[in-house]
């Protein structure tokens, strides 16, 4: 099966593919015109829409390197008989770990502390309540979206003695915490963490009104998608000093507003939720397994 890929994917599984070519820039320009014979497209952070699909008349599979597939027009693919796969499951632990790293970093002010030491300001730290944060176990965690990643976060939170509240699409109760309507959860949580996919329904799910429901001093963690939050409204809340945040994702990546970069009460990361060696290799394994399944006419491993 002739494969076209955004780039070489990390890990040994990639070498199992025989016939791979690489895009020459972002889609659709990166195709350089019509590409007959290409049956599988392996994409990393690429927008896949009708314009690109028009240039790939023999395409049968779009294999997304990532769990979230908000950049792929799945409906348009379906209409053309092109299957779409993603890489769920294998990155749950890595994303949950980074979520926790951000919770700890924000609540215990780890990044500010690092800057404090580097600036040579340590000598008088008992003189003022420098760098005093909040206990992790004293905090209530609100998990918006108790799916696979949200559940992995909940298990970590329980090990840290946090009280866990959650929202989820399915109505059945989970023993990982207490279910709440979203607005109630936001009003009660000291730390809110987002684990919903980006869809039309979740775009700006945390708008200005909902951000205002968070208690003073609360902290918002986002390792999901930037556009789940109204970034301008969040910026206003952060600039006023009312909220704190740990953000791995942004509304218009890789752009991070200058105003946000200047704020000490936000810890920022460049979308590294799945960025561990083991997880990235496992994601490649899934991409390759889906391509090999499509080539052999077997059922896809993780179809969207
Ligand atoms: C990135 C992610 O997609 O899985 C997801 O949804 O956001 C990440 O894993 C991946 O790093 C490629 O950009």
User: For each of the chain's 304 residues, which pLDDT tens digit applies?
Assistant: 999 999 999 999 999 999 999 999 999 999 999 999 999 999 999 999 999 999 999 999 999 999 999 999 999 999 999 999 999 999 999 999 999 999 999 999 999 999 988 988 887 666 656 789 999 999 999 999 999 999 999 999 999 999 999 999 988 899 999 999 999 999 999 999 999 999 999 999 999 999 999 999 999 999 999 999 999 999 999 999 999 999 999 999 999 999 999 999 999 999 999 999 999 999 999 999 999 999 999 999 999 9
| Residue of 16, 29, 173, 253 marked catalytic | 253
CA separation for the pair 47, 32 (Å, rounded): 16
The answer to whether residues 155 and 95 touch, using CB atoms and an 8 Å cutoff, is no
- Same domain as 191, residue 67: no
Q: How far is the CA of 252 from the centre of ligand 1 (A)?
A: 15
The answer to whether residues 42 and 3 touch, using CB atoms and an 8 Å cutoff, is yes
- Same domain as 196, residue 127: yes
Residue 144 token pair = 């918006």
What does DSSP assign to residue 118?
H
- Same domain as 200, residue 128: yes
CA distances to 21, 273, 292 from 18, in Å: 10, 30, 10
Domain-located, residue 169 = yes
Domain-located, residue 35 = yes
Q: Whose CA is nearest to atom 11 of ligand 1?
A: 274
pLDDT of residue 170: 85
CA separation for the pair 146, 125 (Å, rounded): 40
- Same domain as 206, residue 62: no
Domain-located, residue 246 = yes
Domain-located, residue 264 = yes
Phi/psi of residue 179, nearest 5 degrees: -80, 140
How long, in residues, is the chain? 304
Our count of domains for the chain comes to 2
Residue 48 token pair = 């896949």
- Same domain as 141, residue 84: no
If you search the block for the tokens 């699409």, which residue do you land on? 169
- Same domain as 119, residue 77: no
- Same domain as 109, residue 238: yes
CA separation for the pair 117, 216 (Å, rounded): 28
If you search the block for the tokens 């919903």, which residue do you land on? 196
Q: How far is the CA of 16 from the centre of ligand 1 (A)?
A: 22
Q: Determine the residue of 271, 278, 281 to mutate for testing ligand 1's pocket, defined as the one with the most ligand atoms within 8 A of the Cβ atom.
A: 271
| Residue of 156, 271, 280, 285 marked catalytic | 271
Q: How far is the CA of 236 from the centre of ligand 1 (A)?
A: 27
For ligand 1, residues with CB inside 6 Å are 44-45, 65-68, 91, 273-274
Domain-located, residue 56 = yes
Domain-located, residue 304 = no
The answer to whether residues 167 and 145 touch, using CB atoms and an 8 Å cutoff, is yes
Which regions of 153-280 does DSSP assign to beta strands (E)?
A: 163-167, 178-179, 191-194, 219-222, 244-247, 266-268
**What sections of the chain are H helices per DSSP?**
50-54, 74-79, 92-107, 110-118, 148-159, 182-188, 208-213, 231-239, 258-261, 277-296
What does DSSP assign to residue 229?
B
- Same domain as 107, residue 226: yes
Nearest to 137 by CA among 159, 153, 106: 159
Domain-located, residue 301 = no
- Same domain as 286, residue 255: no
The answer to whether residues 193 and 165 touch, using CB atoms and an 8 Å cutoff, is no
Chain centre to alpha carbon of residue 281: 17
The answer to whether residues 20 and 51 touch, using CB atoms and an 8 Å cutoff, is no
If you search the block for the tokens 């991409």, which residue do you land on? 287
- Same domain as 243, residue 149: yes
Q: Whose CA is nearest to atom 9 of ligand 1?
A: 66
254 preceded by a cis bond (ω within 30 of 0)? yes
CATH number for the domain harbouring residue 259 = 3.40.50.720
- Same domain as 175, residue 110: yes
- Same domain as 143, residue 34: no
CA distances to 12, 274, 287, 293 from 280, in Å: 11, 7, 11, 20
Q: Whose CA is nearest to atom 8 of ligand 1?
A: 66
Q: Whose CA is nearest to atom 1 of ligand 1?
A: 66
Domain-located, residue 303 = no
Q: How far is the CA of 274 from the centre of ligand 1 (A)?
A: 6
Q: What range defines the domain where residue 101 resides? A: 92-268
Q: How far is the CA of 88 from the centre of ligand 1 (A)?
A: 10
Angle at alpha carbon of residue 147, lines to 281 and 213, rounded to 5°: 120
pLDDT of residue 150: 98
Catalytic residue flag (residue 225): yes
- Edge-to-edge, what's the strand order for the sheet holding 191-194? 178-179, 163-167, 140-144, 191-194, 219-222, 244-247, 266-268
Q: Give the number of the atom of ligand 1 that is nearest the alpha carbon of residue 64.
A: 3
Q: Whose CA is nearest to atom 4 of ligand 1?
A: 66
């Amino acid at each position: 099966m002739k494969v076209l890929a955004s780039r070489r994917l990390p890990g040994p599984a990639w070498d199992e593919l025989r016939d791979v070519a690489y895009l020459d820039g972002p889609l659709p320009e990166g195709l350089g015109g019509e590409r007959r014979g290409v049956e599988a497209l392996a994409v990393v952070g690429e927008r896949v829409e009708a314009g690109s699909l028009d240039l790939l008349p023999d395409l049968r599979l779009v294999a997304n390197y990532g769990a979230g597939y908000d950049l792929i027009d799945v409906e348009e693919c379906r209409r053309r008989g092109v299957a779409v796969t993603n890489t769920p499951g294998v990155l749950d632990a890595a994303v949950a770990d980074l979520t926790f790293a951000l919770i700890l970093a924000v609540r215990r002010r780890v990044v500010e502390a690092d800057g404090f030491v580097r600036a040579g300001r340590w000598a008088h730290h008992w003189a003022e309540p420098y760098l005093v944060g909040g206990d992790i176990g004293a905090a209530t965690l609100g998990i918006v979206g108790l799916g696979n990643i949200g559940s992995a976060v909940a298990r970590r939170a329980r090990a840290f003695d946090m009280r866990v509240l959650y929202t989820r699409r399915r109505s059945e109760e989970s023993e990982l915490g207490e279910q709440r309507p979203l607005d109630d959860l936001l009003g009660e949580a000291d730390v809110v963490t987002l684990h919903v996919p980006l869809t039309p329904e979740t775009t700006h799910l945390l708008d200005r009104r909902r951000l205002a429901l968070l208690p003073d001093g609360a902290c918002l963690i986002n390792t999901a998608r930037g556009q789940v939050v109204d970034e301008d409204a969040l910026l206003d809340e952060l600039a006023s000093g009312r909220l704190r945040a740990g953000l791995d994702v942004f509304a218009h990546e890789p752009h991070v507003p200058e105003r946000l970069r200047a704020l000490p009460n936000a810890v920022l990361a460049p979308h590294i939720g799945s960025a561990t060696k083991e997880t990235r290799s496992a994601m490649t394994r899934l991409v390759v397994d889906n391509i090999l399944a499509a080539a052999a006419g077997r059922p896809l491993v993780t179809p969207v």
